[in-house]
């Protein structure tokens, strides 16, 4: 009798589980991510086109980053996001996890509160740019990482909404990638508007 009850319970749980809604990742989702990855890359290229070494290295004040350092920071984070995505895939599918809505990850670039890079990497400081490369080399590094990010998304055959890191699914990690660049594009534009920026 106990065995029959156990089998009945297991069958009921399997049946209920089959009604759980599997997260869906569509070609429209892929296009949204790719469009924004291309757009943010092109905006950075446009914003930095023709910059001189003096312009790349200009700082609004000694405690602020130059445009070159901002781009170095972007390249570091592109690499870190790639690592987060790889780790999420390595951890395996989790189709039952309830994700936060995508809207919680969109608009991050419009936040006006200053961030401290080391707050996200404690106790390490590797997201703080060293400032020893030229602006052109930092841009080349970023562009090589972005090309890899785009290719990974173009080639992807997995449901990105079924793989997670600690705080987001992989679809949302890709949103973070372009939102992070958008945030720092605003920073570069602010640098270029400074009254002492070399013309």
Question: Do the domain assignments include residue 12?
Answer: no
Within-domain flag for 1: no
Residue 122's pLDDT is: 83
Query: What CATH number is associated with residue 87?
Result: 1.20.120.450
Q: Which residue has the tokens 């992989």?
A: 170
Is residue 109 in a domain?
Answer: yes
Tokens of 61: 């004040």
Domain boundaries, position 180: 27-193
Number of domains in the chain: 1
184-187 long-range CB contacts below 8 Å, 24 or more apart? 184/70, 184/71, 184/73, 184/74, 185/40, 185/43, 185/44, 185/47, 185/109, 186/109, 187/65, 187/70
Q: What is the dihedral of CA 115, 116, 121, 123, to 10 degrees?
A: -150
The answer to whether residue 6 is domain-embedded is no
pLDDT, tens digit (0-9, with 9 covering 90-100), for 148-193:
999 999 999 999 999 999 889 999 999 999 999 999 999 999 999 9
Is residue 19 in some structural domain? no
The whole-number pLDDT of residue 22 equals 81
Reported confidence tier of residue 86, pLDDT bands at 50, 70, 90:
very high
> Out of 120-124, 140-144, 161-165, 173-177, which region has the weakest mean confidence (pLDDT)?
120-124
């Amino acid at each position: 009798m106990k065995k029959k009850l156990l089998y009945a319970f297991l069958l009921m749980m399997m049946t209920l589980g089959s009604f759980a809604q599997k997260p869906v990742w569509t070609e429209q989702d892929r296009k949204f991510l790719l469009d924004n990855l291309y757009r943010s890359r092109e905006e950075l290229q446009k914003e930095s086109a023709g910059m001189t070494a003096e312009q790349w290295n200009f700082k609004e004040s000694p405690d602020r980053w130059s445009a070159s350092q901002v781009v170095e920071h972007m390249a570091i984070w592109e690499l870190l996001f790639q690592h987060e995505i790889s780790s999420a895939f390595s951890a395996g599918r989790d189709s039952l996890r309830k994700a936060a809505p995508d809207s919680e990850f969109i608009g991050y670039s419009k936040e006006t509160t200053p961030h401290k890079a080391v707050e996200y990497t404690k106790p390490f400081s590797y997201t703080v740019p060293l400032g020893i490369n030229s602006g052109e080399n930092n841009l080349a590094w970023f562009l090589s990482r972005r090309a890899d990010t785009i290719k990974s998304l173009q080639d992807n055959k997995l449901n990105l909404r079924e793989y997670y890191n600690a705080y987001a699914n992989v679809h949302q990690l890709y949103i973070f990638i372009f939102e992070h660049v958008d945030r720092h594009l605003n920073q570069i534009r602010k640098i270029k508007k400074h009254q002492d920026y070399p013309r």
